[in-house]
Amino acid sequence: MTQHRVAVVQAGTSLFDTPRTLERMAVHCETAAREGVELAVFPEGYVGGYPKGLDFGARIGSRAPIGRDDFLRYWQSAIDVPGPETARIGAFAARMKAHLVVGVIERGGATLYCTALFFGPDGALLGKHRKLVPTASERLVWGQGDGSTITVLDTFIGKIGAAICWENYMPNLRQAMYGKGINLWCAPTVDEREIWQSSMRHIAYEGRTFVLSACQYFMRADAPDSYACVQGDDPATVLIRGGSVIVGPLGDVLAGPVYDREAVITADIDLSDTIRGKYDLDVAGHYARPDIFHLSVNEAAMHPVNYQAGAAREDEMVEAAQA
């Protein structure tokens, strides 16, 4: 079967209140389930939050104590993967009987990562993707992912992968995912700009893939009173206005974009359209020139410290002495 109903969920975080965010997520999942979707995508940093406008007390050459307190609060709002929160999200997917892709802030020790998680319709955590390059001042609070989580999952509804926000502007990442045959391109984001719409249509057309871009709708009222963002304290201020959209493999907009409200946006798709699209453009197939251009992707997990057992080190020393 090649026909499926998919959704992008435009919703806001209850910043620094992850239990409340999960309660709100449950409501959106119930709405998507009533629509009969088989895949739903949530925005970047949905669980754990995207602290737009917060500077974490940073200036070139100095960090203020209040910024360290802000980071601690942010770290406490992040989640372990796997952990209790992922079990709960998995339960949402199981009740929906659908695939879920959701942006989270993941704890890896003391380091935070902007991560997309993939859940199956049985509730299983199928995989994750860590954002490779945080953008601008995001690098103050997020670490970099590595090639081990450039994930494309082969599921019964299609090949699902994710590029988070400005990762979508990385040509080599796009080509790496095209090479894996992705046809359900998920783009969790907080980019509300008009040019983002052009980018999503370009990727759909370039990769002959469906693109599902979910953006937050986030108001100052969704953050605590103590949230010292540069946009001020007016609870009616819109910090992220949305722009979630679903695009077909010839760049045609199937649903959205929607602005200035929360929404569950659905579209009925036919994966056969990705094959029809690649008739005249398959950038990882007949439209490639591997005799001229070559992309090599390192998918090994990169650890800051690698430990070896004593016996293994001794064997290496013997081999080195005999060489």
Known catalytic residues are 44, 131, 165
Contact (CB, 8 A) for 47 and 40: no
Residue with tokens 């430990």: 307
Token pair, residue 15, equals 């910043």
- Taking phi first (over 0 means left), then psi (-120 to 50 degrees means alpha), and beta for anything else, what does residue 48 get? left
Listed residue (144, 55, 151, 164) closest to 102, CA to CA: 164
Residues 6+ apart with CB under 8 A from 305: none
Alpha helices in 107-221 (DSSP H): 171-179, 194-207
User: Helix, strand or coil for residue 125?
Assistant: strand
Question: Looking at this protein, which amino acid is placed at residue 160?
Answer: I
Separation of alpha carbons 169 and 200, rounded Å: 10
Q: Which residues contact 193 (CB under 8 A, 6 or more apart)?
A: 243
Distance of CA 311 to the CA centre of its chain: 41
Look-up of token digits 């001229």? 292
